[in-house]
Amino acid sequence: MMASALSIAVLVVAALGVSAQAGLFPPASVVGFPGPTPTGAEPEVVATAPAAPFQSSYYPLIHPDPPADNKSFDPARYWGGLAPAISNPPDTFATYLINSSVLIPPTCELLEAHMLHRHGARYPSSSETVSTLGTKIANATATGQLIATGELAFLNTWKYGLGAEILTPYGREQLFDLGVSWRVKYGHLLDKFPNGTLPVFRTTSQDRMVKSALNFAAGFFGIPYEDQYHQEIIIEGAPAGIAGNNTLSPASCKNLLIGLTDSAAPIAKWQTIYLANATARINSLVTGINFTAADVGNMQSLCAYESVAVGYSDFCRLFTEAEWEGFEYSSDLTYWYGFAWGAPAAAAMGVGWVQELVARLTHTPLTVFNSSTNSTLDSNPLTFPVNQSLYVDATHDSFVDSVLVALNFTSFIKTGPLPVDHIPAGKRSFVASETTPFATALVAQVVNCTNASGSATPYIRWLLNDASVPLDNIPGCGADAYGRCPLDAFVAAMKVRVGEINYAFDCFSNVTIPDIVAANITNGRPPNAP
């Protein structure tokens, strides 16, 4: 019986390999027959909706088991920098902003939107120690020493299976969703681009950063997105002599990790305090292995990492409400003393981006390059345009905090510095799950507002995961109910702020801080900095 033409084709494809198979699956542009494709008007929900959109879920992750002592408690809200981003309530950062939201204030017109966002959920970074716990458990299991009982019985068959550094599937979804939400909120601003002019969005070269930017683009522009914008990828982490300055990840700052290094002992001390009961409780359920407080802290991290990687984790149900609150506070300590107001290089880390922001707000090209700004990229109007209505920059969690410091948003330091032996009573002004969760988004809206007499004034307002950031400490701003500040006053204050930060000294002087907590830093600069 003669073989069919299709069978012959399949045999030929099998012989030639995968590349030949591509010919059997041409793209839509080759197939044709797309049907009707008219598009509609661009959305601008921030100006047209009666209520603000609010992100409150983290589907499709399985809701982590609540602790036995509080069944209404949600552990995922207490994962600190490992938490999924959701919308912060309106009064998160100031009670007088209770009626503020992502919606444009009354009598105002949206002119520009600027966003600095973190990458999506990832596997643990190479510098983290959760994998060492996996190795410790695997070694005990392989020798037959480990016997786990009760709620820890799952360890008898558990295996560490996380990757490293790159986005998880959920992380890809987060950035795609962020792109969609931005198109729904701010799509109308695309109409302000002249014909033939494409937006330039920026990211860095790390895999998770590039993939975050591309997933955002897929959500924002739709597929295919390649011809709808320019994706600028700035080198990050290359060997010395290759990498240039990078305002989205200024790793050339020598003093970058001083605060984090010096905070290692205080954070370890905090773990021995808040995890004392948990460590004893968990060790009572096993034989053949002894878990330290650091190991138990890694179990809490594994709850978060496994949840955002594979959707669920048995580690989540091991801890009480107080222990999850302690875990969140350990994340606060890490960011505060490593990258935020308690870190001596934080202001210097963020100042380059603030210089770029001023250039964009004033539509004036950069001419001074005395920080992490890249003189090659930032002096070229093609790679650093200053006349866009939409700006999107992708970065890391630590850098978002550094930018908040460089912007001088001192509302975040009202209850700082942070002690390392207890959680301060009452509402804290700096909480990592509110400032730097996975896919966090810091957004500036530039609006033109008309008063009762008919005169118009441009303002700027800032939103961090949809909650307005108070600007009343910024000279010329005041406590506006919508978080607005006159644009001219804000720009003038930022120019002064940039002049206050000595990048060369803060990053490259010989800074020695024996005890980062005792140093009592609250401005993100070294003690006695000029």
What are the pLDDT digits (tens) for 140-153? 999 999 999 999 99
226: alpha, beta or left? (left if phi > 0; alpha if psi -120 to 50): alpha
pLDDT at residue 514 is higher than 90:
no
Domain membership flag for residue 111: yes
Q: Where are the beta strands (DSSP E) in 380-517?
A: 390-395, 441-450, 456-464, 467-468, 484-486
Residue 78 DSSP code: G
Distance between CA atoms of residues 332 and 422, nearest Å? 12
Q: Which token pair is 407? A: 């912007």
What does the pLDDT read at residue 8? 40
pLDDT band at 17 (very low <50, low <70, confident <90, very high): low
Count CA within 13 A, CB hemisphere, residue 65: 15
pLDDT at residue 171 is higher than 50:
yes
Q: Which of 253, 252, 256 is nearest to 237 (CA)?
A: 252
pLDDT at residue 15 is higher than 70:
no
What does the pLDDT read at residue 257? 81
Domain membership flag for residue 328: no
Percent share of the chain, pLDDT over 90: 84
Burial label for 472, CB within 10 Å (0-12, 13-18, 19+), is middle
Q: How many residues does the chain have?
A: 530
3-state secondary structure of 350: helix
Query: Which stretches within 84-221 are classed as H helix?
Result: 130-142, 169-186, 207-221
pLDDT at residue 18 is higher than 90:
no
pLDDT band at 396 (very low <50, low <70, confident <90, very high): very high
Q: How many domains does the chain have?
A: 1
Q: Are 393 and 384 in contact (CB under 8 A)?
A: no
Distance between CA atoms of residues 339 and 5, nearest Å? 64
Residue 268 vs residue 298, higher pLDDT = 298
Domain membership flag for residue 183: yes
Domain membership flag for residue 291: no
Domain membership flag for residue 479: yes
What b/e sequence results for 145-168 when a residue is b if at least 16 CB atoms lie within 10 Å of its CB, and e otherwise? ebbbeebbeebeebeeebeeeebb
Distance between CA atoms of residues 313 and 304, nearest Å? 8
Element spanning 357, H or E:
helix 346-362
Element spanning 117, H or E:
strand 108-118
Q: Which token pair is 231? A: 């994706």
Residue with tokens 């021995």: 272
Distance between CA atoms of residues 157 and 475, nearest Å? 59
pLDDT digits (tens, 9 = 90+) for 365-392: 999 999 999 999 999 999 999 999 999 9
Q: Which of 194, 249, 190, 192 is nearest to 225 (CA)?
A: 190
pLDDT digits (tens, 9 = 90+) for 245-292: 999 998 878 888 887 777 678 888 999 999 999 999 999 999 999 999
Domain membership flag for residue 181: yes
Residue 344 DSSP code: T
Q: Which of 75, 62, 74 is nearest to 301 (CA)?
A: 75
Q: Which token pair is 78? A: 């207490």
pLDDT at residue 240 is higher than 70:
no
What does the pLDDT read at residue 530? 86
Distance between CA atoms of residues 117 and 393, nearest Å? 6
What does the pLDDT read at residue 66? 87
What does the pLDDT read at residue 380? 96
- For the chain, the maximum distance between any two Cα atoms, rounded to a whole number of angstroms, is 90
3-state secondary structure of 100: coil
User: 117 lies in which domain range?
Assistant: 79-123+169-260+335-508
Region 204-212 average pLDDT: 97
Domain membership flag for residue 21: no
pLDDT at residue 241 is higher than 70:
no
Torsion, Cα 491 493 496 501, to 10 degrees, reads -100
Domain membership flag for residue 324: no
What does the pLDDT read at residue 239? 67
CATH of residue 375's domain is 3.40.50.1240
Region 92-111 average pLDDT: 97
pLDDT at residue 139 is higher than 80:
yes
Q: Are 56 and 87 in contact (CB under 8 A)?
A: yes
